[in-house]
Chain A
Amino acid sequence: EVQLLESGGGLVQPGGSLRLSCAASGFTFNNYAMTWVRQAPGKGLEWVSAISGSGGGTYFADSVKGRFAISRDNSKHTLYLQMNSLRAEDTAVYYCAKYRTGSSRDFDYWGQGTLVTVSS
């Protein structure tokens, strides 16, 4: 059974940093690109970042480019999102999700989400 479990969310002050983790199980992790999608309270879905199965390719939304970094440790079956220079508009539930196929760019399994609140 595929499972994705996010952790690392919480309250952080503007300008602060936070690292999210997503522990994966139930599939061959290194065979699949992974992604982060966020949802601000009461709002729609926003794609944030993606990483190839090997970790050699990374992609970002303009809204987070230069502030966020995505990485993965295939030996630990874990995906990460390092978030720096956080702003109030980064407040959201952050979901990690698995690509349906190696590089399909649609997402068949999602974690339960972790809430990040940026506020003083």
Chain B
Amino acid sequence: DIQMTQSPSSLSASVGDRVTITCRASQSIGSYLNWYQQKPGKAPRLLMYAASSFQSGVPSRFSGSGSGTDFTLTISSLQPEDFATYYCQQSHSIPLTFGGGTKVEIK
């Protein structure tokens, strides 16, 4: 199975900050990497797919990059509605696996 490791597990940031979350796969997954945002009590929301492609409706302050084993999700200017938990997910092979999550909190 492919293990997905996210870092950090949590971070505190202020509105307007630039935030970067990293995700590392235990083996190469090409660009088969997706990012989700989840707010408390809500279902996850797809943000990015194929490492760097925007899902419809996602603000342009979000961006994704990487290939192989190392990936990043960047929020260029954190907004109040961005405080949430973010998960990466590999779609390279079954079983599909998620990272442990990164909780973005208000400083």
Contact = CB atoms under 8 A, between A and B. Distances in A.
B32 interface: yes
Residue among A35, A45, A106, A113 with the highest chain B CB neighbour number at 10 A: A106
Identify whether the interface residues of B are mostly helix, strand, loop, or mixed.
loop
Interface string A78-120: 0000000000000000010100100011111011110000000
Contact of B96 (A50, A95, A112): A50
B83 interface: no
A61 B97 CA distance: 9
Contacts of B36: 45, 107
Given A47-B95, A47-B98, A106 B49 contact: yes
Contact of A47 (B45, B46, B55, B97): B97
Interface residues of B, number: 23
Interface in B15-57: 32, 34, 36, 38, 43-46, 49-50, 55
A62 B32 CA distance: 21
B94 A113 contact: no
Contacts of A112: 43
A35 B38 CA distance: 17
Interface string B72-107: 000000000000000101010011111111000000
A39 B24 CA distance: 21
A44 interface: yes
A67 B49 CA distance: 31
A73 interface: no
Given A44-B87, A45-B87, A106 B98 contact: no
B24 to A, nearest CB: 15
A62 B96 CA distance: 11
A65 B11 CA distance: 35
Contact of A44 (B50, B94, B101): B101
Contacts of B98: 44-47
28 contacts: A35-B96, A37-B44, A45-B38, A45-B89, A47-B89, A47-B95, A47-B97, A59-B95, A61-B95, A62-B1, A62-B95, A95-B43, A97-B43, A100-B49, A100-B55, A104-B91, A105-B96, A106-B34, A106-B46, A106-B50, A106-B91, A107-B36, A107-B46, A110-B43, A110-B44, A111-B43, A112-B43, A113-B43
